[in-house]
Structures are given as structure tokens and as C-alpha cells.
């Protein structure tokens, strides 16, 4: 033991290494069991599948489902997966440039359309039931932002419109002459606002 003492090694360390070698035939530390995790691998796989590329699911909802604290959900998602919360994309607000172009091109359409013509305005409105306006639904989880599906900006079905344009059933107003963002001339926009208020009246959150 004197040689180990000269090297600056503690007696207890030397004896502990010897006992470990006698018992396990190794001199390095082996993995220790420690306290078992509250969420096993199967549960974590289920949680990751539920939240990945999805919105409207909070840690508190998952914690009640798996009978753990909500901080445990967030900690395990951060440490054991590559899923991270992301801020949902919101539509840009009305800008002054759009306001000027809306007035200009609305006047253009009014002056160049005869009284015997009917204006057909194609205006869609898409809003998911997850509701980005609700604080609990303002985030979504994903492991890869580039692979996130189009649940934030959903595509529109325009097959019928394109068919009518190609068949020349009506005169199409090009983008350069189309008034941008003019809900005042589309009464249907009021209906979408009423529907959104009804859907989100009780702080609706998407169910899992």
C-alpha cells in the first residue's frame, strides 16, 4: 500500500477498487440502477407519437393521462426525445400598402364592370379546431420543423375554379388587379367570424 500512498491514492479508493475486481472482475464503474423512471420506454413512445407534429395538447393533459406531474412530461420530452415546442405561424396583419391597393383596385373593378355583370368572388376560410387564438393552443410540438404537415397553413381546394377559368366561363381578374385583403366586400367573412366565436367560446382545446 506504500506505493499507492506515494502516488497520492487514498487507502479507501484502493480497497474499493480491489473489492470491485474481486466481486465483478472489473475495475471500472458499472451502470447502476438508481431510481426507476416514472415513464417507461413504451409510454414515452406513445407520448412522442401523440405530440409530434401536433398542437392543442398541453403537458397537464398528458400528466393526467399518465398519472405524473406535468413537469415530468416536459423534462422527459426534452431529455429523451428531440421533440421541441415551436411557435405557430400567424397570418400577417393588414398593412398600409394593402389598404392603398385595396382602395385603388376596388375602384378599378367598380369602373370597368358593367351593370349587366355579376361579380363572383372566391373567398375561402380555413381554421382548425385547435384554435391558435387560444393560449393553450399557441404552440405545437415537432421533431423536425421542415416535416411538419400543413395543419398550420392548410391548402385550399381550387380545382373547380381552375376548370371554370380554363373553360372561359367568366373573365378572371388577375392578381395585379385583384384588391388584396378586402373582407368588407365579402359578407361571408362575417359568417366565419361568428363560427370562430362559437367554436372558441368555451376555451376549446383539441382532444387527444
Element (H, E) at 140: strand 139-142
Burial class of residue 41 in the structure, from the number of CB atoms within 10 Å of its CB (0-12 exposed, 13-18 middle, 19+ buried): exposed
Q: Regarding predicted confidence, which is higher, 181 or 69? A: 69
Contacts of 151 (CB under 8 A, 6+ apart): 53, 54, 55, 128, 130, 140
- pTM (predicted TM-score): 0.45
- What does the CA dihedral 157, 205, 139, 38 come to, rounded to 10 degrees? -130
What strands, in cross-sheet order, belong to the sheet with 54-55? 54-55, 139-142, 84-87
pLDDT score of 134 more than 50: yes
Q: At 8, is the secondary structure helix, strand, or coil? A: coil
Position 188 confidence tier, pLDDT thresholds 50, 70, 90: low
Amino acid at each position: 500500500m506504500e506505493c499507492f500512498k506515494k502516488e497520492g491514492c487514498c487507502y479507501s479508493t484502493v480497497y474499493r477498487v480491489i473489492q470491485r475486481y474481486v466481486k465483478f472482475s472489473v475495475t471500472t464503474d458499472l451502470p447502476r440502477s438508481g431510481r426507476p423512471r416514472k415513464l417507461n420506454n413504451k409510454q414515452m413512445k406513445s407520448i412522442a407519437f401523440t405530440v409530434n407534429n401536433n398542437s392543442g395538447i398541453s403537458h397537464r393533459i398528458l400528466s393526467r393521462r399518465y398519472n405524473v406531474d406535468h413537469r415530468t412530461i416536459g423534462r422527459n420530452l426534452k431529455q429523451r426525445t428531440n421533440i421541441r415546442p415551436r411557435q405557430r405561424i400567424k397570418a400577417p396583419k393588414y398593412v398600409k400598402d394593402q389598404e392603398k391597393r385595396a382602395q385603388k383596385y376596388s375602384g378599378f373593378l367598380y369602373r370597368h364592370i358593367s351593370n349587366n355583370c355579376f361579380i363572383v368572388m372566391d373567398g375561402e376560410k380555413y381554421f382548425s379546431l385547435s384554435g391558435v387564438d387560444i393560449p393553450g393552443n399557441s404552440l405545437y410540438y415537432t421533431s423536425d420543423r421542415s416535416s411538419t404537415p400543413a395543419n398550420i397553413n392548410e391548402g385550399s381546394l381550387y380545382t373547380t375554379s381552375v376548370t371554370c377559368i380554363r373553360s372561359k366561363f367568366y373573365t378572371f381578374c388577375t392578381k395585379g388587379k385583384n384588391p388584396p385583403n378586402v373582407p368588407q366586400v365579402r359578407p361571408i367573412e362575417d359568417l366565419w367570424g361568428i363560427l370562430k366565436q362559437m367554436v372558441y367560446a368555451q376555451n376549446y382545446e383539441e382532444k387527444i
